A and B are shown apart, each in its own frame.
Chain A
Amino acid sequence: MAYSEKVIEHYENPKNVGSFEKDDPSVVTGMVGAPACGDVMKLQLKIDDAGVIEDAKFKTYGCGSAIASSSLVTEWVKGKTIEEAAAIKNTDIAEELALPPVKIHCSILAEDAIKAALDEYKSKSDE
């Protein structure tokens, strides 16, 4: 199966790979996995007091599409409010990367990673 140019671009030159300091209180983590292919994705968001995402990092073990999807969302969420980030849909990701139907679950994984990170943010702020 041929990857789209955008997928290859992100795969060969992924943006924002890595982790933040574990103890940084402004950092939340979203961990998700796709049983169908065994892909694992960790997305970390650094969120300021006003609820704006300052920075994002990811670590993904998976295929090119999964890596491209996570790389793309770290670029997209930067500068967004948590509400705006929560509105990112897997269909937006799939469309941007021109993912074929069999790779749609990679974009679902990336959307769910944002949601998981924001869930942690909410439970943290409720404390």
Chain B
Amino acid sequence: MNYFELFNFTASFDLDTATLAERYRELQRAVHPDNFANDTEQQKLLSIHRAAQINDGFQTLKNPIRRAEHMLSLRNIDISHETKTLKDGQFLMQQMEWREALEDINHAEDPDEMIDELYRSFSNYENEMTKRLIALLNSEQENDWLLAADQVRKLKFMAKLKDELAKIEDAQFG
């Protein structure tokens, strides 16, 4: 299933999420069960199936990591279910340092400032990675797509870091 086609987008990473949300609502309205109240059971089932597809497509395209994964899967590179290990030492060392920094927040003199600083560092790093990802996805070379897959894997670590930071921030103000 090509979710870009479903939502009438060209298969590109740059996607206007406001337009996506708009088209999602239109599509959902079209398959609403009320429209099929007088139809056969089979048609009703079909509309339920369609609604589930629309939902899944929306969740996939909305999230940048899942969107990139979907783009790659359309090019026969499936990384969403893999258990492969990442071995980029330099990248992982940086991840380790950031995880250590997260642990230090609670003992920091000014935890708020440290949280802000880490958010900035994570965002800068993530933006650079995303730029590289877009360039690789736009390439015609299959080899670049494999490199794009690696960028997506790394972006998952950044998402994890941001999750952890958000949890710590909640606990600070909780």
Contact = CB atoms under 8 A, between A and B. Distances in A.
Do the two shown chains form a genuine complex with each other?
A: yes
A38 B79 CA distance: 14
Interface string B133-155: 00000000000000000001110
A79 interface: no
A104 B154 CA distance: 20
Contacts of A59: 96
A62 B152 CA distance: 19
B1 interface: no
A32 interface: yes
Interface string B36-47: 000000000000
Interface in A21-71: 31-38, 40, 42, 59, 61
Nearest to B86: A33
Contact of B86 (A34, A42, A61, A104): A34
A116 B86 contact: no
Contacts of B163: 38
Interface string A95-110: 0000000001100110
A40 B95 contact: yes
A112 B84 CA distance: 10
Please classify how large the interface on chain A is, using the bins under 10, 10 to 19, 20 to 34, 35 or more.
Answer: 10 to 19
Given A36-B82, A38-B159, A61 B87 contact: no
Interface residues of B, number: 23
Interface string B67-108: 000000000000100111111010111011001000000000
A112 B85 contact: yes
Contacts of A109: 85
Question: Interface majority SS on A: helix, strand, loop or mixed?
Answer: mixed
Question: Interface majority SS on B: helix, strand, loop or mixed?
Answer: helix
Nearest to A36: B83
B157 interface: yes
Nearest to B102: A61
Given A32-B87, A40-B95, 9 more contacts: A31-B93, A32-B92, A34-B85, A35-B86, A35-B152, A40-B99, A42-B96, A108-B83, A112-B87
29 contacts: A32-B86, A32-B87, A33-B85, A33-B87, A33-B91, A33-B95, A33-B157, A34-B83, A34-B85, A35-B79, A35-B86, A35-B154, A35-B156, A35-B157, A36-B83, A37-B160, A38-B157, A38-B159, A38-B160, A38-B161, A38-B163, A40-B99, A42-B96, A59-B96, A61-B95, A109-B85, A112-B85, A112-B87, A116-B87
Interface of A: 31-38, 40, 42, 59, 61, 104-105, 108-109, 112, 116
Pairs of residues from A and B, 5 with the lowest C-beta to C-beta distance, nearest first = A38-B160, A35-B153, A105-B83, A31-B92, A112-B85
